[in-house]
Structures are given as C-alpha cells and as structure tokens.
Chain A
Amino acid sequence: MATVAIYAHSLSGESVYEDLRQPMTIAFGSRWISRVVVWLTQAVSMAPIAGRSVSLALHLVNGVLVWRLASAVLPELAGVFACALFLWHPLNTEAVAYAANQPELLVALFTLSALLLADRSRVLAWLACGCAVLAKEPGIAAFLLVPAWMAVRGRWSARACVVWIALSTLPALACWPMVAGHGNGLPVLHTVALNLSAIGWLLTKFVVPVGLTVLPDWWWLTPPAIGLCLAGWMFVYAIGAGIPAVSVVASFVLLSVLPRLLWVLPGGLREHHAYLATVALSVGAAGWLSSTHRSADASIRSL
C-alpha cells in the first residue's frame, strides 16, 4: 500500500520522454516477452496509465521476490527491510514510472524467479533465465547470477556451475550482435572502463540519492575521472578483503551489469539500467543492518 501511495502521483498524466515512442523501444531486438506485455496492455487500454500500472504491478511482484530471496539468507525482518528498500528506493523510480522501461522490470522478474527456482529445478531456473533474455538482452546476466548465487550458498559444486555456464553459451551468442553492433570507435578496454565508472557513479546514488535525472550528463567522465571511479571500485574490494560479504554484494552488482560494460548507448547509462543491481544492494544493506554479515562472512570464508 505504501509503495502504491508513493507511485500514485506518477500514474496519470501524459506520456513523457521515451514513453512517446514506447512501441519502437520495445520492438528493438529480440524482446519478445516485453512486446507481448505491451500488446496485452494496449489491448486493454492505450492510455498511459495502463502501461504505468503494469510497471507498478511488476515492481510490486519484484519486491515480493526480493523479500523471498533475502529471507533465504537473512532473518525474516531483514528480508522485509530489503523488500521495502528495494520498493521505495528513489533510484528505482525511473524504471517504474517510465512505461518504456518495462523490459528492465521483466528482466528482474525472471532473474529473481530463476534465483529462487534454482533450489528446486535447474531446468525451470534455466528457462526463467531464457525468459530474462527474451525480455531484454542484458538479461543474459541471469545465466551468471544463478551459478554465483548457488555457489556462494554452497548449493552447487564447481562442476555444476561449469556445466550450467557451458549450457548458457548459446543464449550468450544470440545476444552478441547487440554488443557487436554498438561500437563507439573507442578501444574495448576504454569502453568497459567508461561504463564501469558510469555504473559505479550511478550506484553511489543508492547511498546518497540526490541529483537523480532522466538524462545523466556523462561529459565529466574524462580519463582522470574514470581513474578515480575505478579506484572507487578497488576501494570497495579492499573493504571486501576484511568483510567478504561486501565483496559478494559488489560481485553480484558487477555480474548483474556485466552485459552493460560492453554495450555502448548513445545517451550513456541511465538509472533504470541499475534496477537489477539494486537487488544486491538492498539485500546487502539489510544484511549489514541485521548484523548478519559476520555470520555471512564466516560462511563465505568456510567455502
């Protein structure tokens, strides 16, 4: 109810920004599941409120899945906190208020489902990962997040993870044209460093959510600024040397945005691209607040 109250203001009104060309955005690439959701929504109503209501419903379902996921590794109350933080965090408002960003919400829906299903059935988890790719190409990250999640919790052996990743090669190859077709003339390493810095900067908004904008200006990402941002990532991992749970959260964040590191976007990265990454940050923050990171650290060290 609180989430609906927060988002109530954004539901009505005219379409804005890329929602004005939403069908074109959805039609891009192989986003078949996203297309079906748009078709079904528009079959009911063409009004902007219809698409936004679907987005809000997807966000609420994702919140429930975050709660289920967090409850698997944290105390019950911490799971509720992770869910609330994910649902209410300002960094996620662009992903939800913008109907054109539904593919990001669907990617998170299928990725979270895959993580939860992996305990029961590898086939169902694999199919959920496939659905994430069919929602939006960066959903390919789901194929990496599942083995990482299962390995960290000691559920899968190294062999099982290798077999899983080998079986994920085909969908990864299917996504390759998406990356290969978006060159910017920069060396690959420069592109990766640029995107890694932009993602790092976006994720600082998780801690200090000020200066949020639908059109971030990346003019300041000059080589010295990129160097500073990369140093920030190294600093996080330096902290992780003492508190392994920090490294685990940072690694899950990186895995969730891995396809973005190679994908060059004309306007650069935007807040909704960090939607899946905020799952790991929400669970990590809940773990820190519940003081369970010490027991988590002990478990990680024992692996």
Chain B
Amino acid sequence: MRALIGAVALASCAVISAARLEDWRSDQALFAAATEVTPLFPAAALQRGAVALRYGQWWDAYAWTIRAAIFSEPRPEPPRYPGQPDWHTRVRGQLIWIDAALPVCDLPAARGWCSS
C-alpha cells in the first residue's frame, strides 16, 4: 500500500512540476512580449516595489518600480471595479508616491507616467 502511495506521489510530483515549468515557459513568452503584458504583472511589480521601499531596500524598490513602469507602457485599459481609479491613475499615483523617496520620475521609462 505504501509503495502504491509512493508511486502515485512521485508521478504527481513529476506531472505538477512539468505543468508548472510549462507555465514558466509562458512567462518567458510574456516577458518577451512585454508590451502586451497582462495588467497583473505591473500591479505585482509595483506592490513589490512599494514593500521593498517600506523595508528600506532601495535598489530593490527601484528595480521593481522601473520594471512596472516599463511593462505598463502601451496596453489596453484593464477591467476595473466600480469606484476604482483607472489604471493610468493608479500607476501614476504609485510612481509619484515612490518618487518622494526615489527619483524614479527622472527616468525615461517613468517620465511619461509621472508628467501626464
């Protein structure tokens, strides 16, 4: 019985790992087509940049924020909930907030977002 459990566990691990690494491959394609990135990634990157900033990880905050700005460039407006500000306003608000501690708005990738 335990041998059967072991065999099933190993087979499950192999299948789930292969599926997860297939997702990884999709992420690679996603990064290659950065201008078509889904709205989720910039949000996660901005969130991570904000958390890094809170903990004083300056270079980490910097890297994630810039990445968010770059990947947020030409893209369609994502769906939003009632009362939620539009995507551009949200990215701009976060960038300006982070710019108070880091000069991110001086960077070419973020300049358009901060000034508009």
Contact among A2, A215, A266 with B57 in the assembled complex (CB-CB below 8 Å):
A266
Contact with B along A162-198 (1 / 0, CB 8 A): 0000000000000000000011100000000000000
Contact partners of A182 in chain B: CB under 8 A: 55
The 8 A CB mask of A14-42 against B (1 = contact, 0 = none) is 11110011001000000000000000000
- Do A289 and B25 touch (CB < 8 A)? no
Q: Is A209 positioned at the interface, with any CB of B under 8 Å from its CB? A: yes
Contact with A along B14-52 (1 / 0, CB 8 A): 101110111011011111100000000000100010011
A230: chain B residues at CB < 8 Å are none
Chain B interface size band reads 35 or more
Number of interface residues of A (CB under 8 A): 40
Asked whether, in the complex, the Cβ of A90 is within 8 Å of the Cβ of B17, the reply is: yes
Q: Is the CB of B48 within 8 A of A9?
A: no
- A7 contacts the other chain (CB 8 A): yes
A7 nearest CB neighbor, chain B only: B21
Give Cα A223 to B31, complex, Å: 36
A interface residues, Cβ below 8 angstroms from B: 2, 5-7, 9-10, 12-17, 20-21, 24, 81, 84-85, 88-90, 92-93, 97, 182-184, 209, 212, 215, 264-268, 285, 288-291
A–B Cβ pairs within 8 angstroms, 14 of them? A6-B14, A10-B21, A13-B25, A15-B28, A88-B17, A89-B13, A89-B17, A90-B17, A90-B20, A209-B12, A264-B55, A266-B52, A266-B61, A290-B2
